[in-house]
Chain A
């Protein structure tokens, strides 16, 4: 089975610029997650989708972050405008069943200068 695909792998931008990340989950997985992992910390949930509906976005900074999951499959996460503190690895994961086992992609490392 193909794993979770993410792109790009690395991105360097200047503050106040915008950036977008893409994720393709494992086929058939209804639940998709975006996590932010700052260096030295554990992953923090930004947003969770069940099919194409949002289950939890309580920790998503909605003034600058947005995410969508079209047709319940691929997802994009956007940051506009970026701040220095957004420098982190952005992880996408997907799961099926309950309790869920999360399958992670390799992440996108974002550096904001």
Chain B
């Protein structure tokens, strides 16, 4: 069945460091791909999305490119801030109506 695999956390970085959180997927057909973020004490919210191969989603300095050949959607940011500390979830949506989430990766950014 369809699934999402994320790198395990927690990931701990110093402020201004480069961030990569890996995400790979298994799906039939052509899924849409998403990154959701959950800040402390808040609900999940959309960070960015891509709906077809080679699309790049971006928001708040974060980017991810839909790579069909490697079935990946890795999240990157060039310079993280303390305020980026959160749990990040990779997700996919298939034509079968279902949105499937990865296990989440917790990010800690130290000042």
Would B99 and A45 count as touching, CB distance under 8 A? Answer: yes
| Across-interface contacts of A56 in B (CB, < 8 A) | 97-98
1/0 per residue, CB under 8 A from A, across B67-104: the answer is 00000000000000000000001000100011111111
Would A42 and B42 count as touching, CB distance under 8 A? Answer: no
List which A39-82 residues lie within 8 A (CB) of chain B: 40-45, 48, 50, 55-56
Cα separation A98 to B9 with both chains bound (whole Å): 31
List which B13-41 residues lie within 8 A (CB) of chain A: 32, 34, 36
Closest Cβ neighbor of A102 among chain B residues: B99
- Contact A40 to B97, CB < 8 A, known contacts A99-B51, A104-B44: no
Would B97 and A43 count as touching, CB distance under 8 A? Answer: no
1/0 per residue, CB under 8 A from A, across B41-68: the answer is 0111110010100000000000000000
Would A99 and B42 count as touching, CB distance under 8 A? Answer: no
Would A42 and B99 count as touching, CB distance under 8 A? Answer: no
Interface size on B, residues (CB 8 A): 21
A-B contact count, CB below 8 Å? 51
Would A102 and B44 count as touching, CB distance under 8 A? Answer: yes
Would A91 and B44 count as touching, CB distance under 8 A? Answer: yes
Partner of B98 from the list A41, A45, A101 (CB cut-off 8 Å) is A45
| Across-interface contacts of B42 in A (CB, < 8 A) | 106
- Contact A42 to B51, CB < 8 A, known contacts A102-B99, A104-B43: no
Closest Cβ neighbor of A95 among chain B residues: B99
Would B98 and A91 count as touching, CB distance under 8 A? Answer: no
| Across-interface contacts of B43 in A (CB, < 8 A) | 3-4, 91, 104-107
Closest Cβ neighbor of A6 among chain B residues: B43
**B90, chain A: closest CB distance, angstroms:** 9
Could you pull out 10 A-B pairs where Cβ atoms are within 8 angstroms?
A: A4-B43, A40-B103, A42-B103, A43-B89, A44-B101, A101-B46, A102-B99, A105-B43, A106-B42, A106-B43
